[in-house]
Amino acid sequence: MSKKIMLSSEGVEGLFIANHRFNTTSVSFNFYLPLKAETVANNALLPFILTSCSKDYPDFSLLNLKLNKLYGARLDASCEKYGDCQLLRMTVSVINDNFSFDSDSLVKQASELLLKLIFSPNVEEEAFLQKDVDREKRKAIEHIKGEIAEKRIYAKTRLISEMFKGTAYGIPKCGTVEDVNAVTPQSLYKAWQNMLRTAFVRIHVVGAAVPSKLFEEIDEKFAVIDRHNITDCKICKPALATDKVNTVFEKMDVKQGKLVMGFTSDVYGDDDLSLPLMVMCDIFGGGPYSRLFTNVREKMSLCYYCSASSVRYKGLLTVDSGVECENADKAIDEIMNQLKIMQNGEFSDSEFQSSIKSICDSLKTYYDSQNSLDLWYALKINNQNLYSPEDIIEKIKAVTKEDVIYAAKGVKLHTVYKLLPKEGVIC
């Protein structure tokens, strides 16, 4: 069960997600900001620097001591790309009050700690401290370089940047190394102020109960801030089809080539519009029952792996695979052949039912993790209706084979990205 709570501050709302399965309660702040090249790196650093220190806890050792006193409460931070927005998340998780001997509510204390971290950071003269900024910049650069080193992630990121060149979605969620290097204590302070003033904010509580007067206290924090030009999270431009397929080659020091194909879809948007694309994508290249796995990988041995995934609100479907150079074009031909089979409705009832069951089983796992359930709702901000995983399971069961065929017919190849070994010819 979920209950939306409207706050009086513009662009701020709460969400209580009742769940008695866990022995902990989590409180998360989700800030949605526009994805822009000039602000992406500063924004990406904010969740991490804000959850590492504050005025009351100027270094992490003092903050960690406080967390230990709260029976090992846990702080988490992340930066996600959500459509044409950047999603900055800060979360605290703590054991429920009935498991402690503390007279004061642990959940209440943990919530107040998170409020202090977000609204009272360790700043001086309108700037974060240089040592704190340097630490977070170093960690961010290591993260970006780590994704570059992981070639499967890198190849997919490069496809997105090519397919959405010149648009918000083509910007890496944390920026580039050069973007991070350009961050200063002053620019980060301005980004923090801008986040509090212009971000759309959703506060989630996942647990047995909402801490007493938590949302009233949050409202008071935002009431003294000049909130304006609030981010509209529902503005999300879909991928546009093209008459000519764009092919991009890149050579690096790799042993195994990477092939990533990006497709546009006529079926896109929130869950009420795009669930047939989810089922189509799963039959096409989801699990071991999928057509790409059983045919391109197993029967024809054209690649080491071959799978499909979709970003439904962007109308984007991608296929990524690991290939030998000489098999790249053969793999492309067979992937397109399998798409044609999907469009002609030549997949079996067994494949269709296996996909429906697999998706439903996967949706049930959201209830196994408090963080997964929290993130589920954070990534549903553009939905007209606030559906739970159980709601989507029922909607998936209602998807027909005809719906899947219709979704498949709207899928068109847009961009092909090949990451190839330095040795050998371009294939």
Q: Tell me the pairing of strands 74-82 and 24-34.
A: unpaired
Residue 232 lies in a domain: no
Enclosing domain of residue 269: 246-421
Alpha carbon of 8 to those of 202, 215, 327: distances in Å?
13, 10, 59
pLDDT at 97: 82
Tell me: do 182 and 259 sit in the same domain: no
Chain-centre distance for alpha carbon 64 = 27
Are 160 and 222 within 8 A, CB to CB? no
Indicate whether 201 and 278 sit together in one domain. Answer: no
Which of 1-5, 8-12, 155-159, 405-409 has the weakest average pLDDT? Answer: 1-5
Same-domain check for residues 14 and 160: yes
Does some domain include residue 43? yes
What global pTM score does this model have?
Answer: 0.94
Angle subtended by helix axes 349-364 and 401-409, to nearest 10: 90
| Average pLDDT, integer, range 249-261 | 92
Same domain flag for 262 and 335: yes
Is 29 part of a structural domain of the chain?
yes
Residue with tokens 């509209």: 232
Q: Specify if 233 maps to a domain.
A: no
Express each pLDDT in 273-317 by its tens digit. Answer: 999 999 999 999 998 999 999 999 999 999 999 999 999 999 999
Per cent of the chain over pLDDT 90 is: 82
Q: Is residue 240 part of a domain?
A: no
Residue 361: the pLDDT is: 97
Q: What is the pLDDT averaged over residues 76-85?
A: 94
Q: What pLDDT shows up at residue 287?
A: 86
| pLDDT tops 60 at residue 424 | no
| Amino acid 241: pLDDT | 85
CATH of the domain at 35: 3.30.830.10
196 & 80 share domain: yes
Helix crossing, 401-409 with 271-285: angle to 10°? 90
Tens-place pLDDT, residues 126-163: 999 999 999 999 999 999 999 999 999 999 999 999 99
List the single range of 98-107, 183-192, 312-321, 413-422 with lowest mean pLDDT. Answer: 98-107
Whole-number pLDDT of residue 292: 97
CA atoms within 13 A on the CB side of 243: 0
Burial of 319 (0-12, 13-18, 19+ CB in 10 A): buried
Please provide the average confidence, as pLDDT, over all residues in the chain. 93
Model confidence pLDDT, tens digit, residues 388-415: 999 999 999 999 999 999 999 999 999 9
Question: How many residues appear in the chain?
Answer: 427
Residues 48 and 174 in one domain: yes
Question: Nearest 5 degrees, angle CA 208-CA 211-CA 216?
Answer: 135
**Structure confidence at residue 425 (pLDDT):** 52
Q: How far apart are CA 35 and CA 150, in angstroms?
A: 24
C-alpha–C-alpha distance, residues 390 and 369, integer Å? 15
Q: Is residue 357 part of a domain?
A: yes
Q: Are residues 295 and 153 in the same domain?
A: no
With tokens 């003033």, the residue in question is 197
Reported as a pLDDT band with limits 50, 70 and 90, residue 21 is: confident
Model pLDDT, residue 80: 94
For residues 206 and 262, state if they share a domain: no
Give the pLDDT mean for 120-126. 96
Q: For residue 71, is it within any domain?
A: yes
Same domain, yes or no: 291 and 217: no
238: pLDDT confidence band, cut at 50, 70 and 90? confident
Asked whether residue 173 falls in the same domain as residue 262, the answer is no
pLDDT at residue 302, as a whole number: 95
Residues 124 and 87 both lie in one domain:
yes
> Which residue type does 425 have?
V
**Residues 318-372 pLDDT 10s:** 999 999 989 999 999 999 999 999 999 999 999 999 999 999 999 999 999 999 9
- Provide the pairing of β-strand 200-207 with 12-18: parallel
Q: Does residue 285 sit within a domain?
A: yes
Q: Count structural domains, the chain.
A: 2
3-state secondary structure the chain: CEEEEECCCCCEEEEEEECCCCCEEEEEEEEEEECCCCCHHHHHHHHHHHCCCCCCCCCHHHHHHHHHHCCCCEEEEEEEEECCEEEEEEEEEEECHHHCCCCCCHHHHHHHHHHHHHHCCCECCCCECHHHHHHHHHHHHHHHHHHHHCHHHHHHHHHHHHHCCCCHHHCCCCCCHHHHHCCCHHHHHHHHHHHHHHCEEEEEEEECCCCCCHHHHHHHHHHCCCCCCCCCCCCCCCCCCCCCCEEEEEEECCCCEEEEEEEECCCCCCHHHHHHHHHHHHHHHCCCCCHHHHHHHHHCCCCCEEEEEEEHHHCEEEEEEEECHHHHHHHHHHHHHHHHHHHCCCCCHHHHHHHHHHHHHHHHHHHHCHHHHHHHHHCCCCCCCCCCHHHHHHHHHCCCHHHHHHHHHCCEEEEEEEEEECCCCCC
Give the C-alpha separation, 66 to 58, whole Å: 12
Give the model's pLDDT for residue 34: 96
Nearest to 408 by CA among 272, 287, 317: 317
Both 131 and 194 in one domain: the answer is: yes
In contact, 286 and 355? CB cutoff 8 Å: yes
Per-residue pLDDT band at 235 (split at 50, 70, 90):
confident
